[in-house]
Amino acid sequence: MNSTDQAKICDVGFTIIRDRDIHSIVNKIELLQTLEQTKIIYEIWAKDKNHLSWFKLSGPYNTKAARERNKKYLLKDQKYIED
């Protein structure tokens, strides 16, 4: 779905939701050594009639399963559709 299609759907009153996985790097410095650990942050982003650019709807979730449960709950409401 391109941005024109998304705008048409939002104008009718729907909210489009999409998953977003953010990979953040946590740095720990001990003396001259750097340990980098990657942490994944799971979020749900959305677009609606009032926000034509993507915004964070909910999150962050600690696990992908937690995000999927919330997304499933949102999609029960007929005004939400998945991108």
Q: Residue 73's pLDDT is what?
A: 94
User: SS3 for 49-83, per residue?
Assistant: CCCCCCEEEEEEECCHHHHHHHHHHHHHCCCEEEC
21-59: pLDDT as tens digits: 877 555 545 444 444 555 678 888 899 999 878 999 998
Q: Residue 36's pLDDT is what?
A: 52
Q: Residue 33's pLDDT is what?
A: 47
The pTM (predicted TM-score) of the whole model is 0.76
Task: Tell me the domain boundaries of the chain.
Answer: 3-82
- Mean of pLDDT values over 3-29: 81
Averaged pLDDT of the chain:
82
- Mean of pLDDT values over 59-78: 91
Helix H or strand E segment including 14: none
CB-CB contact of 46 with 54 (8 Å): yes
